[in-house]
Amino acid sequence: MTDRPRAAALELLRSVREDDAYANLALPQILHGFGLSGRDAAFATELAYGTLRCHGWYDTVLAECLNRPLEKVEPALLDVLRLGAHQLLAMRVPDHAAVDSSCTLARGVGAKPGASARAGFVNAVLRKVAALDSDGWADRVRAGRADDDVDWLAARWSHPAWIVRAFRDALGPRRGELPDLLVADNAAARPSLVARPGRMDVDELVDLPEVDPGRWSPLSGTLVEGTPDALACIRDGRAGVQDEGSQLVALALARAEVDGDAGLWLDACAGPGGKAALLDGLARERGGHLVAVEQHPHRVDLVRRSFAPASPSVVLAGDARLSPWGDLRFDRVLVDAPCTGLGALRRRPESRWRRTPADLSSLGGLQRDLLRAGLDAVRPGGVVAYATCSPHLAETDLVVGDVLRGRDDVVQEDARALVPELSDVGDGPGVQMWPHRHGTDAMYLAILRRQ
What b/e sequence results for 364-383 when a residue is b if at least 16 CB atoms lie within 10 Å of its CB, and e otherwise? Answer: beebbbbbbbbbebbbeebb
pLDDT above 70 (res 1): no
331-351 average pLDDT score: 96
**Tens digit of pLDDT for each residue in 73-109?**
999 999 999 999 999 999 999 999 999 999 999 999 9
Kindly state whether residues 174 and 258 are assigned to the same domain: no
At residue 260 the predicted structure's pLDDT band, cuts being 50, 70 and 90, is very high
Kindly state whether residues 284 and 217 are assigned to the same domain: no
CA distance 50 to 61: 15
Kindly state whether residues 289 and 362 are assigned to the same domain: yes
231 Cα distance to chain centroid: 22
User: Residue 277's pLDDT is what?
Assistant: 96
Instruction: Give the contacts of 242 (CB within 8 A, at least 6 positions apart).
Output: 192, 193, 194, 220, 274, 275, 278
Domain residues for 106?
4-134
User: Residue 320's pLDDT is what?
Assistant: 97
99-128 average pLDDT score: 93
Kindly state whether residues 78 and 129 are assigned to the same domain: yes
Residues 194 and 278: beta-carbon distance below 8 Å:
yes
CA distance 245 to 131: 41
27-55 average pLDDT score: 95
- Tell whether 219 is covered by a domain: yes
The active-site residue, picked from 54, 233, 339, 389, is 389
Kindly state whether residues 358 and 425 are assigned to the same domain: yes
Region for residue 428 given its phi and psi (left: phi exceeds 0; alpha: psi -120 to 50; beta: otherwise): left
pLDDT above 60 (res 353): yes
At residue 69 the predicted structure's pLDDT band, cuts being 50, 70 and 90, is very high
C-alpha distance across the termini of the chain, in Å = 70
CA distance 436 to 449: 30
Final residue of a structural domain among 170, 185, 200: 185
| 272 upstream amide cis, omega within 30 of 0 | yes
In the residue annotation, 389 being an active-site residue is answered as: yes
- Tell whether 140 is covered by a domain: no
pTM given for the model: 0.94
Kindly state whether residues 218 and 263 are assigned to the same domain: no
Helix then strand then coil, in percent of the chain rounded to 5, is: 55, 15, 35
User: Residue 143's pLDDT is what?
Assistant: 83
CA distance 207 to 7: 37
Which of 36-45, 141-150, 438-447 is predicted least confidently? Answer: 141-150
pLDDT above 70 (res 203): yes
Residue 326, burial from CB neighbour count under 10 angstroms (0-12, 13-18, 19+): exposed
- Tell whether 339 is covered by a domain: yes
Instruction: Give the contacts of 312 (CB within 8 A, at least 6 positions apart).
Output: 284, 289
pLDDT averaged over every residue in the chain: 96
At residue 389 the predicted structure's pLDDT band, cuts being 50, 70 and 90, is very high
| 173 upstream amide cis, omega within 30 of 0 | no
**Tens digit of pLDDT for each residue in 285-318?**
999 999 999 998 889 999 999 999 989 999 999 9
Final residue of a structural domain among 91, 110, 134: 134
User: Residue 297's pLDDT is what?
Assistant: 86
- Tell whether 293 is covered by a domain: yes
User: Residue 114's pLDDT is what?
Assistant: 86
**Tens digit of pLDDT for each residue in 130-145?**
999 999 999 999 988 8
pLDDT above 60 (res 46): yes
Label the pairing between strands 314-317 and 378-388. unpaired
At residue 154 the predicted structure's pLDDT band, cuts being 50, 70 and 90, is very high
Kindly state whether residues 277 and 419 are assigned to the same domain: yes
- Tell whether 139 is covered by a domain: no
pLDDT above 70 (res 405): yes
CA distance 212 to 205: 9
136-157 average pLDDT score: 93
Label the pairing between strands 444-450 and 289-294. unpaired
CATH of residue 348: 3.40.50.150
Kindly state whether residues 44 and 164 are assigned to the same domain: no
- Tell whether 412 is covered by a domain: yes
User: Residue 3's pLDDT is what?
Assistant: 93
Residues 174 and 180: beta-carbon distance below 8 Å:
no
User: Residue 128's pLDDT is what?
Assistant: 98
At residue 443 the predicted structure's pLDDT band, cuts being 50, 70 and 90, is very high
Cα 253 to Cα 195, 237, 411: the distances in Å are 17, 22, 15
| 429 upstream amide cis, omega within 30 of 0 | yes
CA distance 27 to 39: 15
User: Residue 130's pLDDT is what?
Assistant: 98
Final residue of a structural domain among 134, 153, 172: 134
CATH of residue 123: 1.10.940.10
Kindly state whether residues 171 and 211 are assigned to the same domain: no
Instruction: Give the contacts of 165 (CB within 8 A, at least 6 positions apart).
Output: 150
pLDDT above 70 (res 218): yes
- Tell whether 52 is covered by a domain: yes
- Tell whether 170 is covered by a domain: yes
Kindly state whether residues 248 and 235 are assigned to the same domain: no
Residues 334 and 266: beta-carbon distance below 8 Å:
yes
pLDDT above 90 (res 374): yes
User: Residue 113's pLDDT is what?
Assistant: 81
Kindly state whether residues 298 and 362 are assigned to the same domain: yes
User: Residue 144's pLDDT is what?
Assistant: 83
Note the helical H segments in 66-91: 75-90
Name the nearest CA neighbour of 249 among 349, 333, 188: 333
User: Residue 111's pLDDT is what?
Assistant: 76
Indicate the number of domains in the chain: 4
Kindly state whether residues 196 and 47 are assigned to the same domain: no
**CB-CB neighbours of 424 under 10 Å:** 10
